[in-house]
């Protein structure tokens, strides 16, 4: 029994020696694909609704060169991204950089800065509908706006707020 256990132990240890053999001593290279980081940094709103963030990341990571409609001679491509909550129209150059986007999302969760500002200015009112719009350009960055319909049971009013909670 003692010889059997020692034999199994020796066999188990010897197989470990061959687990990490690298033939040339180098690890394989990894290709890193750059995304549209300027766009993502500009529209970065960590409090934005999850569907909004996911669609914005999809637009930023879209590889125009692998699209079936890509042609070497074209300088401009317009791509539409849809989800039930909204859309993004993104324009790309031939290298895959986002030139501009037009984004519209309806009835998504509002950031705390917006809901707090509305609650302070309009106590007793509730949000019945909202539209989140983002316009991004390479030169100006992102302009984020919320159009909100407030309801107090008798009246309805519309207000516009930016991402910082400032009324427009």
What is the average pLDDT across 142-159?
A: 92
Mean pLDDT for all residues in the chain? 84
What pLDDT digit, counting tens, does each position of 123-136 carry?
Answer: 989 999 999 999 99
Instruction: Give Cα 150 to chain centroid, integer Å.
Output: 28
What pLDDT digit, counting tens, does each position of 23-77 carry?
Answer: 555 656 655 555 788 888 888 767 788 889 889 989 988 888 888 887 777 788 8
All structural domains of the chain with their residue ranges: 34-162
In this prediction, residue 17 has a pLDDT band, given cuts at 50, 70 and 90, of low
* Strand partners of residue 159: 148
Between strands 86-93 and 156-162, the pairing is unpaired
Number of H helices, E strands in the chain: 4, 6
- Which among 60, 46, 161, 149 has a CA at the least distance from the CA of 103? 60
Cα 102 to Cα 82: distance, rounded to the nearest angstrom = 12
């Amino acid at each position: 029994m003692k010889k059997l256990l020692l034999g199994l132990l020796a066999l188990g240890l010897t197989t470990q020696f061959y687990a990490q053999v690298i033939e040339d001593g180098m690890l394989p290279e990894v290709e890193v694909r750059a995304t549209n980081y300027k766009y993502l940094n500009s529209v970065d709103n960590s409090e934005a609704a999850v569907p909004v963030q996911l669609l914005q990341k999809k637009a930023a990571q879209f590889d125009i060169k692998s699209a079936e409609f890509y042609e070497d001679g074209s300088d401009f491509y317009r791509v539409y991204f849809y989800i039930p909550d909204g859309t993004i129209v993104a324009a790309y150059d031939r290298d895959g950089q986002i030139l501009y986007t037009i984004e519209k999302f309806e009835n998504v969760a509002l950031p705390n800065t917006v809901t707090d500002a509305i609650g302070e200015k309009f106590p007793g009112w509730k949000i019945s509908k909202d539209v989140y719009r983002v316009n991004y350009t390479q030169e100006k960055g992102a302009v984020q706006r919320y159009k909100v319909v407030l309801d107090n049971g008798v009246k309805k009013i519309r207000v516009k707020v930016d991402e910082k909670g400032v009324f427009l």
